[in-house]
Amino acid sequence: MSAELIDGKAFAAGLRARVAQQVPAFAAATGRAPGLAVVLVGEDPASAVYVRSKGKMTCEAGMESFEHRLSAETSQEELIALVDQLNADPAVDGILVQLPLPGHLDSEAVLLRIDPDKDVDGFHPFNAGRLATGLPGFVPCTPLGCLMLLEDRLGDLTGLDAVVIGRSNIVGKPMAALLTAKSCTVTLTHSRTRNLPHYLAHADIVVAAVGRADFVKGEWLKPGATVIDVGINRVDGALRGDVDFAGAASVAGAITPVPGGVGPMTIACLLRNTLVAAHRREG
């Protein structure tokens, strides 16, 4: 292995500590801590783990955590009523509705209902539009975390060739917008791209978010490339990324491990977005 490991776990701990450091000044100025509300509908075990972890880290950062656990049978009307209540609650700066929602619920309608100024997930179309047009708003936490790791490693990204693999609204599309805003030349590829190795051969930066274990092969990479692996795929009980780690690590200049790479950045960026939301709301 020649690639350097990008330690997302350590970077995320540092970011959480920097956020926590700023909370007392906010509390002194406003008489309250920043508040994050997390809504979990149903019993999905992976979601329950995420939500517990979010609540714990929110409290560790000195913020207020409001957890709302609703039964899997919750109706659309009940969920919308809760979102309305959180939108109106002055103690709540950020609202996160854990996805995926049970199948009978309309996720799009729920996300659309969240006040865009409390949308710390950055999933509301207003915030997607703000990102696409270069206006200040909220950026989804996972691509924001990827960008922080890239800038930490590479500094100024201007002019670099970046290939994003995956076109989801949560990672691929906002990642491409963020890298474009940083003056990279961005190619947005996906599972149906005809000749992925052709694009990767020129890529200084690769962000893999396609949701298929070991999809990206080491021999496709440009030597020295910086590789960010967003994938979390369970294979025979083990976690695997979207990149064939052993193959890629012998070609890349730097690579994120799975786990311990991008994953921890998501919650750290959520806390950062919540602090930003709190400051903006207090104006």
Give the count of beta carbons closer than 10 Å to the beta carbon of residue 87.
15
| 84 belongs to the catalytic site | no
The region of 96-104, 127-135, 161-169, 198-206 touching ligand GUN under the rule CB under 6 A is 96-104
Q: Does 98 bind ligand GUN (CB under 6 A)?
A: yes
| Cβ 124 to ligand GUN shortest distance, Å | 11
Structure tokens at 243: 């990149």
Written as one letter, the residue type at 193 is T
Q: Is 107 exposed, middle or buried (0-12, 13-18, 19+ CB in 10 A)?
A: middle
22 is catalytic: no
Stretch that binds ligand GUN, among 97-105, 145-153, 177-185, 234-242 (CB under 6 A): 97-105
CB nearer ligand GUN, residue 118 or residue 222: 118
| CA-closest candidate to residue 266, choices 36, 1, 15, 5 | 15
Q: Which stretch binds ligand GUN (CB under 6 A): 94-102, 185-193, 229-237, 253-261?
A: 94-102
Q: Do 205 and 225 touch, CB atoms closer than 8 A? A: yes
Spatial contact of 266 and 15, defined as CB atoms under 8 Å apart: no
Q: State the nearest-atom distance from the C-beta of 246 to ligand GUN, in Å.
A: 27
Out of 23, 40, 96, 208, the residue judged to bind ligand GUN by CB under 6 A: 96
CA distance 243 to 207: 10
DSSP codes, 125-138: HHHHHHHHHT-S--
Q: Please list every residue from 66 through 85 that binds ligand GUN, using CB under 6 A.
A: none
Q: Is 152 a catalytic residue?
A: no
Residue 181's SS3 state is helix
* Pair 266, 145: CB distance under 8 Å: yes
Of the candidate residues 64, 93, 119, 121, the single one contacting ligand GUN (CB under 6 A): 121
Residue window 193-222: x/- pattern of binding to ligand GUN, with contact defined by CB under 6 A = ------------------------------
Q: Which residues bind ligand GUN (CB under 6 A)?
A: 50, 96-99, 121, 141, 266
